[in-house]
């Protein structure tokens, strides 16, 4: 997801550019607005992604859609005319326009995806998961186990009864 901004960097602060995002996994669409700022380019993007996940109940791999809203300044490192380095207050946590005046939002998308991901994803809301006793995937078929697992302390009592 590259944007070439050498032209935009020659425009006055406040100049905007609008883009439609091309599908490029995990992105399947979206749009971005780039605005020239005093220190670089502000990227505001609504990105539709498919997040890869593993069901927290049955461990099946699946994907689910999410929209992430990115808002980040990409700092300018070199002068667009002369290529000389520009002093910047940005540190290594910030995003940068590369020396060829290109913005790559892939890493920003990746970071925002992590924030947008479900803590306990489910392949479907009523996923029955895996039987805690026999380990069978209950989505495929029911198992013969009944009720909750037997507490080992009750098993000891049962054993006493049958002496
Ligand atoms: Zn599941
Ligand atoms: Zn079972």
pLDDT tens for the 163 residues of the chain, in order: 899 999 999 999 999 999 999 998 889 999 999 999 999 999 999 999 999 999 999 999 999 999 999 999 999 999 999 989 988 888 888 999 999 999 999 999 999 999 999 999 999 999 999 998 888 888 888 888 866 555 666 666 666 666 5
Q: How far is the CA of 29 from the centre of ligand 1 (A)?
A: 27
Q: How far is the CA of 141 from the centre of ligand 1 (A)?
A: 13
The Cα diameter of the chain in Å comes to: 93
Contacts of residue 86, Cβ cutoff 8 Å, sequence gap at least 6: 76, 77, 78, 79
Q: How far is the CA of 156 from the centre of ligand 1 (A)?
A: 34
Q: How far is the CA of 144 from the centre of ligand 1 (A)?
A: 20
Q: How far is the CA of 131 from the centre of ligand 2 (A)?
A: 5
Domain boundaries along the sequence of the chain: 2-125, 128-163
């Amino acid at each position: 997801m590259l944007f070439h901004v050498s032209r935009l960097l020659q425009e006055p602060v406040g100049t905007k550019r609008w883009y439609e995002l091309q599908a490029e996994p995990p992105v399947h669409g979206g749009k971005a607005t780039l605005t020239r700022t005093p220190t670089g380019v502000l990227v505001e993007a609504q990105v539709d992604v498919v997040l890869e996940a593993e069901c927290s109940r049955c461990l099946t791999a699946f994907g689910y859609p999410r929209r992430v809203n990115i808002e980040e300044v990409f700092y300018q490192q070199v002068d667009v005319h002369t290529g000389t380095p520009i002093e910047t207050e940005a540190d290594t946590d910030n995003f940068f326009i590369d020396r060829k005046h290109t913005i790559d939002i892939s890493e920003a998308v990746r970071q925002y995806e992590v924030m947008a991901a479900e803590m306990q994803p489910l392949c479907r809301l009523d996923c029955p998961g895996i039987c805690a006793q026999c380990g069978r995937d209950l989505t495929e078929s029911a198992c013969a186990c009944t009720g909750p697992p037997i507490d080992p302390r009750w098993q000891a009592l049962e054993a006493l009864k049958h002496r």
